[in-house]
A and B are shown apart, each in its own frame.
Chain A
Amino acid sequence: MTPANAITLKDLTLGYRRHPAVHHLSGTFQAGSLTAIVGPNGAGKTTLLKGIVGALKPLSGQITFCGVKRRDIAYLPQQQELERSFPIQVADLVAMGLWRKLGPFRAVTGENLARVHEAIAAVGLSGFGARAIGTLSGGQLQRALFARLLLQDAPVVLLDEPFAAIDARTTADLLNIVHRWHGEKRIIIAVLHDMELVRAHFPESLMLARGPIGWGKSAEVLRPENFLKARAMCEAWHDDDAVCAAENAPEAARA
């Protein structure tokens, strides 16, 4: 990893059916940055992560990757598509994190198997390796998914509400892992709702309310006037909404 790693958003608009969910957002996630994305429900936080991983094409604007590739992103989505009734053990689930390294065929043995067990131990699940994933609690499953992220060893980590419905002790354990990644100069972006947690652990914040409200040092972004602004966001949209003025401008200039 070179220190020049960065993800830059340039006048980025993401959305669904031409309706913007993230509106004219510009800024850079630098290497070694630990950023919390905050904002009310429907503010475009998840949409932004989807845009960064490439699951959603921008309506306008650009996302540029410097030093890292889109495939280098480890992404923990909020709504798990995970089939929990699948008859598979925790160690096998965690070992999926080695996919990039091992591909579809190479066996998980020797050093790699040791890494799987290290990762399981690192998230505090020692002794759970042989348990069926269907028998895990919500918090234990989240620990297992963090173990999988550990093995992915990605320079960019995106977490969507990683601590929702997770108890204090598990949150603290998983935050330790986040800090460890931070120390390794990875780009970490997490969608969060717990402002105390953001203030205590995340040096930078991006407050979204469809459009950007603030992006910078957490202490400066998480101010009462910003929260008021974010709360005033109008969530409704109409089928006959006019085309955004900023979109119109270049066309008008051309005509």
Chain B
Amino acid sequence: MRRLINDPYDVVEEMLEGFCKAHSKYVHLYENDGRVVVSNLAPVKGKVGIIIGGGSGHEPLFLGYVGENFADAAVIGNINTSPSPESCYNAVKAVDAGKGCLYLYGNYAGDVMNFDMGAEMAAEEGIRVETVRVTDDVCSSKNIEDRRGVAGDFFVFKVAGAKAAMGADLDEVKAAAEKANANTRSMGVALSSATHPATGKPIFEMEEGDMEIGMGIHGEPGVRRDKLQKADKVVEEIMSYIIPDLPFITGDEVAVLVNSLGSTPLMDLHICYRKVAMILEEKGIKIYRSFVGPYATTMDMIGMSITLMKLDDELKQLLDYPCSTPYFTIK
């Protein structure tokens, strides 16, 4: 194992302790629950509470996007494992300003159960909590509502955070997040497994020199495994799934995210981005805004994913809306 940790049973707590110390300008741990990262500004008067969350191991996803005009809190689970119902509920208590809260997370069975239980606990206290589950991973199922959420989380969370910051009510924020989700499609490729820091083992087996097209961010199997190919060819294949799925068509405007799964360098990401841009240009799809880097990772996994979100005027405005968090800022 090539991971820098102490006791394997302490990895999440020690990461959170370090994170909140390093970014104390933005966030702190909720006093009654060490798994809830709360914005220093929360609860924000007159604003719907935006609560994101999921398992650890996808940093900067979740905790890195807590701050001004983005998420008010992130609920953090064990590695690759959803947080507990109590923590989901505690996040509501930490950020609710009387306008209700929106839960946003990737669509995984564990997350659905725990966040639903958290919402039930909030409902008993008379606090309204709505939910939008991100389902952007095109190859995870034919049925859109069964799909998993991957790097598209970032776009959906950003849109919801901005809409809430503009003072919209809970139904409007939810509608904006649902639109963002409906317009977002992602797919990735893995070149290696990730190392589970507690077991010290890879979370699944993968031979050096292989790649798996369409693999999920917890190592869920993709569409096929093959020998590693050149970047352009890999991007072409991924785009051949993403583009017809929505479909994205000539005249559309999109936001592009080329995301590292953890260990793929920016050099490779930009080589991939170059090909994404070429393909979109050929198809007459205009790129409005691009993001390249680690946004939703799987610890030390080598690989990358491509996400497109089709934009309209509202989504453009929400994507561009200023925000300030430890891992994402727009001025």
- Chain B associates with chain A: no
B interface residues with partner A (beta carbon < 8 Å): none
Binding site for B on A (CB under 8 A): none
